[in-house]
Structure formats: structure tokens, C-alpha cells
Amino acid sequence: MPEIGDEAFEFLLARAGLKLTDEQKAELQTVYSGIAEMAQRVRKPRGRMAEPAHIYDFAEEDLA
């Protein structure tokens, strides 16, 4: 399970501008691994040319 150290955790919170109580921090730290797993899951060997989705339109092949 991916974990996060106290220093990195505090850095991310500070960068996000969030001020949490110690209790909130402790709880949030326990679910970090869930986000880290999701972040791993969306990474695939796709190379540098793969485009992101811009779903504001559907291509004709979507509709066929």
C-alpha cells in the first residue's frame, strides 16, 4: 500500500491551502493510499504522444 510521510503530507496540505485539525489530518492520512492507487491505475504505457480527453464533442465514429 502506498504511504505518505508526515513531511510530504504537510507539504501537500500547505500547498492546497487547507488548514486541518490534528484529527482531520490523521484520518486523511489513512486514505492517502486510496488516491495513490487510483493515480497508479490511470498510468499506462502510452508514450508521450497520447492526448488527453476533451469530451466536449463526440467524433462521428462515436455515433455510428
Partner 1 sequence: MSGAVPTIAEAARLIAARQLSPVELTRACIERVHKLDDQLHAFVHLTEERALADARTAEAAIMANGPKGPLHGIPIGLKDIVDTKGIPTTCQSKFLQDNIPETDAACAEKLAAAGTVLMGKTTTHEFADGGPSFDLPAPPARNPWNTEHFTAGSSSGTGAGVAAGLILGGIGTDTGGSIRGPAALCGIAGIKPTYGLVSRAGVAPAAFSLDHIGPMAWTAEDCALMLQALAGHDQRDPASASRPILNYTAQLGAGIRGLKIGVIHHFHETDHKVSEGTQRGITAAIGTFRDLGAEIREVQLSPLQDWNACGSLISITERAAAYEEWARTRLGDFSERLRSRLMLGAFVTGVDYVQATRRRRELRAELQAAMRGLDVVLTATQPSEAARIDAVPKWDLFAAPNFTMPFNVAGYPAISVCAGFGAGGLPVAIQLAGKPFQEPTLFRIADAFEKATPFRDRRSPLVAA
Which residues form the interface with partner 1 (CB under 8 A)?
Answer: 4, 12-13, 15-20, 24, 27-28, 31-32, 34-39, 41-44, 46, 50-53, 55-58, 61-64
| Residue 17 region by backbone torsions, left for phi larger than 0, else alpha for psi between -120 and 50, else beta | left
Closest CB 29 distance from partner 1, rounded Å: 10
Nearest by Cα to 2 from 36, 26, 39, 25: 36
Q: Which residue has the cell 491505475?
A: 41
Closer residue to partner 1 (CB): 7 or 46: 46
Nearest by Cα to 30 from 54, 58, 1, 62: 1
Closest CB 14 distance from partner 1, rounded Å: 9
Closest CB 31 distance from partner 1, rounded Å: 6
